Amino acid sequence: MKITRISAYQLDLPRQAAFTLSGGRTVAAFDTTVVRVDTDAGLTGLGEVCPFGSAYLPAYAKGARTGIAELAPQLIGDDPRQVEALYRRMDGLLKGHPYVKSALDIAMWDILGQTAGLPLYVLLGGRHGQSIPLYQPISHDVPDRMAAQVKAAQEAGYARFQPKVGANPDDDIARLRAVLTVTRPGDVVVADANGGWFTHQARRFVGAMAGAPIYVEQPCAGYDECLSIRAASALPFVLDESIDSAAMVLRLQRDHAADLINLKLAKVGGLTPARQIRDLCVSLGIAMTIEDSGGGDVIAAAITHLAQATPVANRYALCNAYFLVKRHFADGVPEIRDGAVTATDAPGLGLRLREQELGKPFFSTH
């Protein structure tokens, strides 16, 4: 089997509601890039990459599209089923820029699953458990409105919440205390600063919240700063933005820097490296949230399949943001039921493309 054509499309995917991180970074729609890989066997694979704006991680939407246009012509004639070998080839063609490779890599896995006649979760490790819990991000806002967001999510079946903090620590303490007034026994609350605090601010927050039933996620931008806050607190910790490779997971394990990680597909470069990091975390006994920075139908399917193939004990949750966009370009996306999803049993990603939604490609190899 050979790749005969690679096309890429830009789509705006409005969210059901605008979302704000710490620092006032608000996103009302995802600027996403969808990749279509065609083969001489008549199979088509879908991929997607969607940075969360241009100032969250070292990735941006136009950069993804430029990089895909650079890589794609050099992959024509390659066998898409050779996913790991093809990934090494991409690394040889473009140094760094893992997010650029993510959409292409996902599309190759989609073709591999279709060729085998198996859903991707089988190829990624087999089915573990049934439904996968979703977590509800809670947009940065005043305390009462953040508590109201939690209550609305509880009514929709959610029990895991990620309130955004990372601003003035006194205000953030008030935000978390308001959230905790409406949580129930068994609910999980992760205070996510997205690296927004200086160390002195993070120390004030964890000191004031000592003993509270919460996790603290990525309090500071740098790994070493987060490690210093970890040493000053008995609260369980999550690292996200700092975890971009298997090497960082090994460093985290050595330093006892966190209890959980967030594993984002685009940040590490797609399903191939994410699977390797997932397996390392399973071996080391580290729990994971499997997610991505943003996106729509392809991202939703890809993270669901990888999470479905992850042992339940190592699987914390998925993010719901990719399932709650207003615009869809494929059918077969896993459906939310009572705050959880389950990977479909259709081959590959299990998606059926809505051709009319894509429009004209901004790039095609011919």
Which residues have a catalytic role annotated?
164, 264
Dist. CA 163–CA 181, nearest whole Å: 13
- Gyration radius from the chain CA atoms: 20
Phi, psi of 92 (to 5 degrees): -75, -25
* Selection from 160, 186, 187, 189 nearest residue 177 by Cα: 189
* Selection from 6, 22, 28, 23 nearest residue 294 by Cα: 28
According to the 3-state scheme, what is the secondary structure of 54-111? Answer: CCCCCCCHHHHHHHHHHHHHHHCCCCCCCHHHHHHHHHHHCCCCHHHHHHHHHHHHHH
**Residue 43 token pair:** 């199979």
Place of tokens 């399903």: 271
Sort 88 into a burial class: Cβ within 10 Å, 0-12 / 13-18 / 19+. exposed
Dist. CA 322–CA 310, nearest whole Å: 19
Torsion of CA 335, 337, 341, 342, to 10 degrees: -80
CA dist 154 to 29, 120, 133, 193, Å? 24, 31, 13, 22
